[in-house]
Structure 1
């Protein structure tokens, strides 16, 4: 899927790596052209399970799902992080990202969302000395 240039992909993966370097949490990005389910939230939940994000030790995984042609995206967190952040946190994060998306700044919006999620993960789940990266940092490109 040729949605992002190599430099853009590197920038996104770097943002994930930097964010995860400060926390035991895990952040993944899934990109499809079209929503891969009946709703964007269902697609995000599907990939959350498919990528094993529900298996993190502290239940602190965050998934950003983006369907580029449908202009839809969702952010979901596992129960560990959801129990910590304020109820409006994910909506606030989406609003920050959407402001960039509306200006055609897809990569910048993703980086802002990753950084914002990473800050909360760091606050509630700081990186321990024994922390291991439980999931890959790469972008997962769906088949849609």
Structure 2
């Protein structure tokens, strides 16, 4: 079974809708990548690799955020581009990661992603509020491997 089959079409649409709603408040760009297994031991390293593969570093404000999830390995990461990391305090993603961890531990991957995405949108709004002429620079679709 491929990773795309791990989430129903309805679950995928809920996650995409969460991305779209979160991006209404911020110029930040949010993506989700889901795979069954993390190649390598470190989910942060894999998330960095996926971030590059998806071209997420090409946003104007370097404010892309990737939610990475390896379901079978029970690993995840949340990473932001350099524009975010230069402006936010240490531990900026901690509350988002804790929210994800709680839902993922209970097997609620869809709800965890939706709530984590909403939290990221709220947090990013402080540093990257949405401008009246903001454009969606990255696809809201979930990427799968």
TM-score scaled by length of structure 2: 0.93
Matches within 5 A, 1:90-105: 90-105=93-108
- Uncovered stretches (5+) of structure 2, i.e. residues with no partner: none
Name segments (4+ residues, structure 1) moved above 4 Å. Answer: none
- Give aligned pairs, total: 142
Equivalent residue, structure 2, for 1:107: 110
Q: CA-to-partner distance for each residue in 1:72-106, whole Å, 9 max, x for gaps?
A: 00000011112222211222211111111111111
Matches within 5 A, 1:116-127: 116-127=119-130
Equivalent residue, structure 2, for 1:18: 21
1:46 to 49, 63, 68: 49
1:74 aligns with 2:77: yes
Equivalent residue, structure 1, for 2:32: 29
1:64 aligns with 2:67: yes
SS in 2 for 1:37: coil
SS in 2 for 1:89: coil
TM-score scaled by length of structure 1: 0.94
In the alignment, the residues of structure 1 paired with residue 12 and residue 88 of structure 2 have an alpha-carbon distance, to the nearest angstrom, of 28
